[in-house]
Amino acid sequence: MRTGSEPSGMRATIERLSATPVVFLHRLPRWVLLAAVFALLAVGMVGTGWVGAAGLLALLALLAWFAYLNWPALDASGRALRIAAMAVLAAFAAGHLFGRF
């Protein structure tokens, strides 16, 4: 019998497919993921054109993946913060693509 807390459908599939990469990331030293995030952010801020946009979009994809996995456990302020961060990254990536930054 299913309870209300068990994911179903697409969420269950994404959580199942994400299990192996999440375990891999969890086994890495903490500084590795932090360094990767800072490297993507640095490429996004220093790079121009599609290079900067690619760094920011990769960071956006990583943040969106983590946000999706954590969404049920977040309160309203946590959700709003993640949406705002993703919107800022998307805006800066679009700025790079259209030559504004």
Average pLDDT over residues 19-26: 93
What's the CA gap between 80 and 64, in Å, rounded?
13
Q: Quick check: helix, strand or coil at residue 52?
A: helix
Confidence (pTM)? 0.83
Q: Is the pLDDT of residue 91 over 80?
A: yes
